[in-house]
Amino acid sequence: MIEFLIRRVIYAMPIMLGVALVCFALVHLAPGDPLVSILPPDASQELQQKLRALYGFDRSYPEQFVSWIARALQGDLGVSIATSRPVLDEVLKAVGNTLRLAALATLIGFILGSLFGFVAGYFQNSWVDKLASLTAVLGVSVPHYWLGMVMVIVFSSQLMWLPASGAGPSGSDLWQWNWEHIQHMVLPALTMSVIPMGIISRTVRALVADILAQEFVMGLRAKGLTDLGILAHVVKNAAPTALAVMGLQLGYLLGGSILIETVFAWPGTGFLLNSAIFQRDLPLLQGTILVLAMFFVVLNMLVDMVQTLLDPRIARG
């Protein structure tokens, strides 16, 4: 078991390096001079050289990559070109907001999705099953940014129940435990939860159907176990995979929240990415993507580990 966990960590190392390389390459894929957004058009040759040296753009790519990685490992992701503030500070503040939203959305999606999926798998081909399949298809098909707009139209513009944008009253972008901040979270979190709900309900339905068809269930029934007792066995067997899917969905939402954050003007990483792209703030773009992708790699690793701890058959297989 320990050996498996260590192997999993070692496996993640080259992937992390590769991810860092891709993030680094992104900046150099970009057409034009990376300094174009801060240099005045009539900048002297000397000033251009000085700034280039300041940001390290005058050295060779491998040199730049190594020094970038070395600094990133120490928590220095450079300075945002647009705001002149450290990239890490900006990213961490935004990650907190995105994480809060994504975690709530995953939780809602997991609870509703597993409930739907469970009932559908238990009563296969019943109307509940058909309804659950339909919901799952709608959940994975809906353009979530549009769903966000429709939510705003219905609950903010027509019914006026909930605020349409922002993370708190009067543009507050830091979390506080109060009713107004919770209200601001409801619509984006509900919108975001639709995707994991569809995927988790599909997975759980297939899992439950699979488990019920296994011989040990017949054995339990023959032994005289009640339906409730069998249910407990099914839950126990389905849980590791369902939790793993939930973990991965959290990762997808963290990285994929940009569209929903744009719709709701939520001050998270998506919002940050959006402004980094349109202000051509390449260090900020690079840093945000690096942090999000690393989160995803680590989350993947943790999910594998937890799944193995819950279900030791995986390590043996």
Residues contributing to the site for other proteins (CB under 8 A): 14-15, 18-19, 21-23, 26-27, 29-31, 137-138, 140-147, 149-150, 152-153, 157-158, 206, 251-252, 254-256, 258-259, 262-263, 273-274, 276-278, 282, 285, 289, 292-293, 296-297, 300
**CB of 262 vs other proteins, minimal distance in Å:** 6
Q: How far is the CB of 61 from other proteins (least distance, A)?
A: 15
- SS3 readout for the chain: CHHHHHHHHHHHHHHHHHHHHHHHHHHHHCCCCCCCCCCCCCCCHHHHHHHHHHHCCCCCHHHHHHHHHHHHHCCCCCECCCCCCEHHHHHHHHHHHHHHHHHHHHHHHHHHHHHHHHHHHHCCCCHHHHHHHHHHHHHHHCCHHHHHHHHHHHHHHHCCCCCCCCCCHHHCCCCCCCHHHHHHHHHHHHHHHHHHHHHHHHHHHHHHHHHHCCHHHHHHHHHCCCHHHHHHHHHHHHHHHHHHHHHHHHHHHHHHCHHHHHHHCCCCHHHHHHHHHHCCCHHHHHHHHHHHHHHHHHHHHHHHHHHHHHCCHHHHC
CB-nearer residue toward other proteins: 168 or 255: 255
Closest CB 214 distance from other proteins, rounded Å = 16
**Closer of 49 and 157 to other proteins (Cβ):** 157
Nearest to other proteins of 30, 309 (CB atom): 30
- Least separation in angstroms between CB 290 and other proteins: 10
**Residue 235 or 301 having the CB closest to other proteins:** 301
Closer to other proteins by Cβ: residue 123 or 146: 146
